[in-house]
Structure 1
Amino acid sequence: MTAKPWRYLRDRDVQVAAAVTVLVLLLSAGLVWLGYVIHVWRIAARSPLVPSRRMIVLVFGRHLVRDAPGPDYQQRLARALALVEQGHANHLLLLGGRSGGQQSEAAAGAQWLRQQGLRGEVQLELEQDSVDSLENLRHARQLLQADASLPPVVLLTSRYHLARCCMLARRLGFEGLPIAAEPTLPLRPRYLARLLTEASYLMWLDLGLRWAALVGNTRMTARIS
């Protein structure tokens, strides 16, 4: 799921992070943002299609279209199905609560997978309470954590979304391997715009956390932990 960040703007910590980001952006004449763009691009372009070993696969949801997975989400689900069929996975955890439809993103994803022939012996779990990528991972951690340890996981999502998911997963203690939904990085203008938007989100998150660590604001750092 990729919820819009604007719903957080009433939060004081988020406002501080935004102010720090704008200041750094101005002082660097945009060069810092360019660095994040390159980082997001590299992860999007270089992430593999299969893991090197069998792991639990976290499939990030996406806003539903008429209560069913749209094109982006279908690509993610199709990649998860391919991993199962190729023997790279036997445990899928679908992430995503309701985003305006009658059912959750996770439930819609599970229905789509079964319609496409997902085998019954595959372990399929649903996380249906989250509203954004951070909550996706927090709830996944609650479901998977045992004896204060987390298993290594695959982070399966669209290429433009991988860098942010990797950053959040590290903050929450996951050993996460990014796996791309799309076979190659699309170069369409709309897709490139998504990459640039993701770079902005990532800069906002990262610089806010760096500022919080610098000034000792534990409340801010605890927001993503």
Structure 2
Amino acid sequence: MPRPLQRNPWRYMRDADVLHAAVVTLLAVLLSAGLVWLGYLAHVWRIARGARTTLSGRWVVLVFGRQLAGDEPGHDYRGRLARALVLLREGRARRVLLLGGYSGGRRSEAEAGHAWLQRQGLPADARVELEQESVDSLENLRHARGLLQGGDRAEVMPPVALLTSRYHLARCLLLARRLGFDGHPVAAEETLPRTPRYLARLVMEATYLMWIDLGVRWARLIGHRRMAGRIS
């Protein structure tokens, strides 16, 4: 049986398209004296601060995984799962997809998340599905799209709630919309934390978002179809 893929962000640095996007992003930051990056940081902050924690109606909810700590959900992931549990108990989640493959442990993030939900009192009638093949947010969404479409790319996807930590919302929202989702952000935390750790997360997310967005925009500008098609 083949070994499952593991989460390893450094694997992308061997990708020519990713490096191409990194060079373009660095030049944009230098030529703008950092103003471009500040714009992305403001966007990430705005999405993180303004995201809601509740839903009206009944939704398909995508819960993004996070690297496990000793085969168990860590702090951020538990927060996302706890919010999903609230939505299930309130009847706001008609279908929940737990997203996340193997991140170094013996079980997938989705599997560990499902086990945690069961220990916390997952409703017996909850419709929960596990997506266990992905190793990053882009793959999370690609596999979720396949599950929602049932293999038929012509099938119209329902609107989805993107449930994750506040710092992660802007990136997930960008990727979801590029992949054709009608995505709506839902925050795990009640309010935006102001701790040094959390602010560092926001800074990193702004950098990731800029890298992704500028890379795709540049690829489209120069007609680089393979590079532009990396997020599709």
Q: Could you state the TM-score of these two structures normalised by the residue count of structure 1? A: 0.97
1:1-225 alignment, distance < 5 Å? 5-145=9-149, 147-225=154-232
Tell me the CA shift for residue 52 of structure 1: 2.7
Tell me the CA shift for residue 134 of structure 1: 0.3
SS in structure 2 at match of 1:59: strand
Tell me the CA shift for residue 4 of structure 1: 5.7
Matches of 1:46 and 1:53, distance apart in 2? 20
Q: Is the 8 A contact 1:51 1:177 kept in 2?
A: no
Tell me the CA shift for residue 6 of structure 1: 2.8
Tell me the CA shift for residue 10 of structure 1: 1.2
Structure 1: segments with no counterpart, 5+ residues: none
Matches of 2:66 and 2:24, distance apart in 1? 29
Tell me the CA shift for residue 149 of structure 1: 1.3
Superposed structure 1 runs of 4+ greater than 6 Å apart = none
Question: What do residues 116-142 of structure 1 show as CA deviations (whole Å, max 9, x unaligned)?
Answer: 001121111000000000000000000
Tell me the CA shift for residue 9 of structure 1: 1.0
Tell me the amino acid that sits aligned with residue 208 of structure 1.
G
Tell me the CA shift for residue 7 of structure 1: 1.8
Q: Is the 8 A contact 1:91 1:123 kept in 2?
A: yes
Q: CA RMSD in A?
A: 1.0
SS in structure 1 at match of 2:155: coil
Q: Is the 8 A contact 1:37 1:199 kept in 2?
A: yes
Tell me the amino acid that sits aligned with residue 178 of structure 2.
R
Matches of 2:87 and 2:143, distance apart in 1? 23
- Percent of aligned positions with the same letter in both sequences? 65
Question: What do residues 161-192 of structure 1 show as CA deviations (whole Å, max 9, x unaligned)?
Answer: 00000000001000011000000000000100
Matches of 2:172 and 2:93, distance apart in 1? 20
Structure 2: segments with no counterpart, 5+ residues: 1-6
Matches of 1:53 and 1:90, distance apart in 2? 9
Tell me the CA shift for residue 85 of structure 1: 1.0
